[in-house]
Amino acid sequence: MARQSLEVAVEGLKRFLSEQNGFDEVTAAKIEKLAAELQGTDINGFDHHVQKDPVQMIEEGFRYFKTNKFDKNPELYNRLAHGQWPQFLVFACSDSRVCPSHILNFQPGDAFMVRNIANMVPPFDQLRYSGVGAAIEYAIEALEVPNILVIGHSHCGGIKRLMSHPEDGSAPYDFIDEWVKIAKPAKAKVIAKFGNLSFETQCEHCEKEAVNLSLINLLSYPYVQKAVASKRLRLMGGYYNFVDGTFYRWEFECHFSPHFPA
Amino acid sequence: MATPSPTTFSQPFNFSKDVRRTTLKTSTIFGPKLKSGEIEHTHLRLLTSFMTGPRLELKASKDPPGLTQQLDNSRLESLAETENVCDFFEDLKHRFLRFKKRKFKENLEHFQNLAQGQAPKFMIIACADSRVCPSNILGFQPGEAFVVRNIANLVPTFEVHITLHLVYFEFLLPKQTSPLHFFFLCVQSGPSETNAALEFAVNALKVENILVIGHSRCGGIRALMSMQDEEDSSSFIRSWVVVGKNASLITKSAASNLSFDQQCRHCEKESVNHSLSNLLTYPWIEEKVARGELFVHGGYYDFIDCTFEKWTLDYEGGNLEKNSRFAVKNQFYWC
């Protein structure tokens, strides 16, 4: 009963407020958050005092999505049920803090997304790196995405591991070290150029250089070469710094100059 | 809503079986006289030409519009493409600023704490499909889930990621009439991306839960189910989805009377179970699951009618036998 009264009150408040014109985006978001908090359905707030059971956590998350997104956009989700036409193929780190759906607000259908340690794109290798290759092949050949975006980030554990890894191979991690060594050229460049700077600064440079290396490695895939050459595909880099809340983006351009006779 | 009946799934193939199959395949590809360095050199040449070739200029540009040079003479086309670059660049900027206003600044203290370190409770393995991001469908917030996304949310086994190459060399030294023969056994790793993430999540971050999420109308599973043995093996997709081959074999034998679409749906779930089974082939995962420090779950998201199924591996350590089956518990169906 109490819950019903509460819901009626919240709906009434929302109706009243919506009749007031001229809310900017920030105010509208605050009202939405307030309404959600009153209804006890705000999962966008960070409630650290309650240690939730993991199953309860994902059930609440799913119900929120279904009620507030899926059921409220039937046209979109009906279309998505029949196919996907993402504008981006995104490579992002598996780090829990950097999901592109949060930081770039990607909604269902927006971005085909690969997430791995240190957001790496390894060079073409059908045996060792078939996972990444499969995602690139599918995104370009089947989905015809027009943009690839590789996003690095601050305090990346994978890059830190690469930068601190002793050269004599005495480290205990088998798979991680084998994987992050893909970015060894980036490490070499950073040490050569910034070897006199602090370890943290070198890591930050390497996080960005590794993105550039991944963009270059993309060109080792024939479908990427073809699509870039015919201008159907753009390659972009990004860097999310969650310490100061900034995002840098840049484009990787490559082209053939006109042919000159000898 | 009826809860699905308990499902069981079998142990993956043991190592010796797979080594034999791999060796046979290798000899048909490489033949008796291939020099071991050949493939590697080809790969390196390709990379080198991109780095130093005279006709290809590589330029990393920070500023958005107007810098893409055109080879054709159409200025209009050039402007239209410039606008496209503008749009996507501007789009990214607006997307980020929205996040910064609505989430980052509103929860500054939390983000500052997160900047010091992450302690996610979950590791998620989900498909790269644009419609199934776990942050959207399960509401994971920054800091809550370490996420791996690949085609068809597959987890390779611990053992079978190694491929053996039998390589044969022939040397004819000066003043010798018959050549010297050498055989080398080379080990080359198979798909390795997911393994590194598993190692990091379980051993470094010490996550308490691993959740593998399959989904409806998965293109990768469809490719797996459509795979014919005699097909051209130059496709990356094929080289990757073969990781889930056992799931497709089980599906084809168990569900042969169903339509292809229904078989694919069956395989989407079977593949999740197969991945869960593969997780236990990692010794450090199996140890933690046996001790009750780590829980392994399967999930299935159906985006046609928006439902989510979830189940947990019921593992009693120490009683693994050949072809033993694992039970599940705590099954839920949310709709």
Whether residue B108 lies inside any domain: the answer is no
pLDDT of B49 higher than 90:
no
Residue B46 pLDDT greater than 60, yes or no: no
Q: What is the pLDDT of residue A200?
A: 94
Q: What average pLDDT does range A15-20 have in this prediction?
A: 60
> For residue A10, is pLDDT > 70?
no
- State yes or no: pLDDT of A247 exceeds 90: yes
Are B133 and A101 within 8 A, CB to CB? yes
Question: In total, how many domains does chain B have?
Answer: 2
How much of chain B, in percent, has pLDDT values that exceed 70?
62
Do B58 and B133 share a domain, yes or no? no
B47 vs A134: CA distance, rounded Å: 20
Average pLDDT on B149-176 reads 73
Question: Does residue B72 fall inside a structural domain?
Answer: no
| Residue contact B141–A71, C-beta within 8 A | no
pLDDT at A199: 94
Average pLDDT over residues A25-34: 60
DSSP secondary structure string for all residues of chain A: -HHHHHHHHHHHHHHHHHHS----HHHHHHHHHHHHHHHT---SS---SS---HHHHHHHHHHHHIIIIITT-HHHHHHHHH----SEEEEEE--TT--HHHHT-PPTTSEEEEEEGGG--PPS-TTTTHHHHHHHHIIIIIS--SEEEEEEETT-HHHHHHHH--TT---S-SHHHHHHGGGHHHHHHHHHHHTTS-HHHHHHHHHHHHHHHHHHHHTTSHHHHHHHHTTS-EEEEEEEETTTTEEEEEEEEEEEPPP---
Q: What is the pLDDT of residue A18?
A: 59
What is the distance, to the nearest Å, from the Cα of residue B228 to the centroid of all Cα atoms in its chain?
Answer: 21
Give whichever of A38-52, B58-72, B89-103 has the largest mean pLDDT. B89-103
**CATH number (domain holding residue B250):** 3.40.1050.10
Q: Is the ipTM of this complex over 0.85?
A: no
Distance from CA of A19 to the nearest CA of B (A): 23
- Scan residues 201-220 of B and list those with Cβ closer than 8 Å to A: 201, 203-204, 208-209, 211, 216-217, 219-220
Q: How confident is the model at residue B303 (pLDDT cuts 50, 70, 90)?
A: very high
Asked if B309 has any chain A CB less than 8 Å from its own CB, the reply is no
For B165, the 3-state DSSP assignment is strand
Size of interface A-B (CB pairs under 8 A): 316
Contacts of A45 in chain B (CB under 8 A): 107
For residues B47 and B130, membership in a common domain is answered with no
Q: Among residues of chain B, what percentage have pLDDT more than 90?
A: 46
The answer to whether residue B40 neighbours chain A at the CB level (below 8 Å) is: no
Of B127-131, B227-231, B258-262, B328-332, where does mean pLDDT reach its minimum? B227-231
Q: Show residues of chain B in contact with A231, CB under 8 Å.
A: 81
| pLDDT score of B93 | 87
Per-residue pLDDT reduced to its tens digit, A213-234? 999 999 999 999 999 999 999 9
- pLDDT band with cut points at 50, 70 and 90 for residue A35: low
> What pLDDT score was predicted for residue A40?
45
Q: How far is B320 from chain A (nearest CA, A)?
A: 25
Q: Lowest-confidence range among A106-115, A210-219, A244-253, B164-173?
A: B164-173
Cα gap B12→A142, rounded to integer Å: 31
Helix axis angle for A2-19 and A25-39, nearest 10°, is 170
Query: Binning pLDDT at 50, 70 and 90, where does residue A19 land?
Result: low
Comparing A252 with A8, the larger pLDDT belongs to: A252
Among A207-216, B6-15, B121-130, the minimum mean pLDDT is found in B6-15
Task: Tell if the CB–CB gap between A116 and B193 is shorter than 8 Å.
Answer: yes
What average pLDDT does chain B have?
74
Chain B residue with Cα closest to A217: B47
Nearest-CB residue to B240 (from A81, A131, A257): A131
Q: Is residue B263 part of a domain?
A: yes
Among A96, A113, A134, the residue with its CB nearest the CB of B236 is A134
Judge: A102–B236 Cβ closer than 8 Å, yes or no: no
Same domain for B154 and B289, yes or no, is: yes
pTM of the entire predicted model: 0.76
Q: Does B25 touch chain A (CB under 8 A)?
A: no
pLDDT of residue B176: 72
Residues of the binding site of A: 93, 95, 153, 156
Q: Residue B178: what pLDDT?
A: 76
| Chain B residue closest in CA terms to A155 | B115
pLDDT score, position B260: 93
State how far Cα B68 lies from the chain centre: 34
Question: Residues B132, B56: one domain?
Answer: no
Q: Given a cut of 80, is residue A13 above it in pLDDT?
A: no
Q: What is the pLDDT of residue A17?
A: 60
How far CA A90 is from CA of A99, A116, A119, A151, A238, in Å, comes to 10, 11, 9, 7, 10
Dist. CA B335–CA B330, nearest whole Å: 16
Specify the higher pLDDT residue, B296 or B180: B296
Domain span at residue B44 reads 15-62
Q: Considering only the beta carbons, identify the residue of B62, B193, B240 that sits closest to A250.
A: B62
| pLDDT tens per residue, range B211-248 | 999 999 999 999 999 987 666 667 889 889 999 999 99
Is B276 inside any structural domain? yes
The verdict on residue B183 lying in a domain is: no
Q: Using the predicted structure, report yes or no on whether residue B125 has a pLDDT greater than 90.
A: yes
Same domain, B157 and B55: no
Between residues B78 and B327, which one has the greater pLDDT? B327
When pLDDT is averaged across residues A183-210 and rounded to a whole number, the result is: 96
The pLDDT value recorded for residue B78 is 45
- In this structure, the answer to whether residues B21 and B159 fall within a common structural domain is no
* Predicted pLDDT of residue A226: 93
Find chain B residues with C-beta within 8 A of A106's C-beta: 95, 130, 133
Residue B19: per-residue pLDDT: 34
Cβ separation B85–A234 shorter than 8 A:
yes
**Residues B38 and B138 occupy one common structural domain:** no
Is B15 within 8 Å of chain A by CB? no
Residue B42 pLDDT level (bands cut at 50, 70, 90): very low
Which of A48, A94, A124 is opposite residue B147, by nearest beta carbon? Answer: A94
Asked if B148 and B124 count as a contact pair (C-beta separation under 8 A), the reply is yes
Q: Which residues contact B54 (CB under 8 A, 6 or more apart)?
A: none
pLDDT band at B293 (very low <50, low <70, confident <90, very high): very high
Residue B308 within any structural domain of the chain:
yes
Pick the residue of A46, A145, A219 with the most B CBs within 10 A to test the interface with B by mutation.
Answer: A46
Is B252 part of a structural domain of the chain? yes
**Is residue A34's pLDDT more than 90?**
no
| pLDDT score for A253 | 87
Q: What is the pLDDT of residues A100-125, one digit of tens each?
A: 999 999 999 999 999 999 999 999 98
Q: What is the pLDDT of residue A114?
A: 97
pLDDT, greater one: A38 or A262? A262
Q: Which residues of B touch A236 (CB under 8 A)?
A: 88-89, 92
- Where residue B188 falls among pLDDT bands split at 50, 70, 90? low
Flag whether pLDDT at B287 surpasses 90. Answer: yes
Residue from the list A104, A135, A254 with its beta carbon closest to the beta carbon of B99: A104
Same domain? B125 vs B40: no
How confident is the model over B74-90, as a mean pLDDT?
Answer: 54
Nearest CA to CA, how far is A212 from chain B (Å)?
Answer: 8
pLDDT on residue B321: 43
In this prediction, residue B205 carries a pLDDT of 94
Nearest CB neighbour to B88, from listed A80, A147, A157: A147
Q: Where are any strands of DSSP class E within B122-266?
A: 122-127, 145-150, 162-171, 180-189, 209-215
Mean pLDDT of chain A: 85
Helix (H, G, I), strand (E, B) or coil at B275: helix
Query: Considering the domain boundaries, does residue B93 fall inside one?
Result: no
- Sign of the C-alpha dihedral, residues A138, A143, A148, A154? negative
Same domain? For B125 and B39 the reply is no
Minimum distance, in Å, between the CA of residue A5 and any CA atom of chain B: 25
Q: Do B53 and B131 sit in the same domain of this protein?
A: no
